[in-house]
């Protein structure tokens, strides 16, 4: 099993969510997060300059069986990209075991 964590633009969340549902990923968790990125330029709005170093993003946490890893990553890459700096990152790590709390069942079938 793999844990796929993605930090994406908030504006791309609906497209990413739809793409994940289209490939069969029907459950994941997400949070609104703020981070610091490589973007250093400021913006001016109504004559007031403000910094964009604090970037608002959405953080997705998805656990999938190994055979869904590539499909899930490709769905995020295709639907979350704008081609601009700040599109985000995807992190993949291995999950040793998973348990369903309600039944005590363990293993990859608990993800279905």
Instruction: Give the pLDDT of residue 45.
Output: 62
- How many domains does one find in the chain? 1
pTM tops 0.85: no
Instruction: Give the pLDDT of residue 84.
Output: 85
d(CA 12, CA 52): 18
Could you read off the pLDDT of 12-48 as tens digits, one per residue?
Answer: 999 999 999 999 998 999 999 988 766 655 666 666 6
- Residue 44 located in a structural domain: no
Contact, 66 vs 21, CB < 8 A? no
Residue 28's CB: how many other CB atoms inside 10 A?
18
- Residue 46 located in a structural domain: no
Decide if pLDDT at 10 tops 70.
yes
Instruction: Give the pLDDT of residue 34.
Output: 87
Contact, 16 vs 82, CB < 8 A? no
Question: Residue 86's domain spans which residues?
Answer: 2-32+58-111
User: What is the pLDDT averaged over residues 82-86?
Assistant: 86
Print burial letters for 84-102: b (CB count within 10 Å at least 16), e (below 16).
eeeebebeeeeeeebeeee
């Amino acid at each position: 099993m793999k844990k796929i964590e993605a930090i994406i633009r908030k504006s791309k969340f609906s497209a990413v969510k739809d793409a994940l549902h289209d490939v069969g990923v029907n459950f994941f968790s997400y949070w609104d997060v703020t981070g610091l990125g490589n973007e250093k330029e400021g913006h001016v709005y109504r004559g007031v300059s403000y910094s964009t170093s604090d970037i608002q993003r959405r953080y997705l946490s998805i656990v999938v069986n190994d055979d869904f890893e590539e499909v899930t990553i490709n769905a995020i890459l295709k639907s979350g990209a704008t081609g601009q700096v700040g599109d985000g990152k995807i992190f993949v790590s291995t999950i040793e075991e998973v348990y369903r709390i309600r039944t005590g069942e363990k293993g990859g079938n608990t993800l279905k």
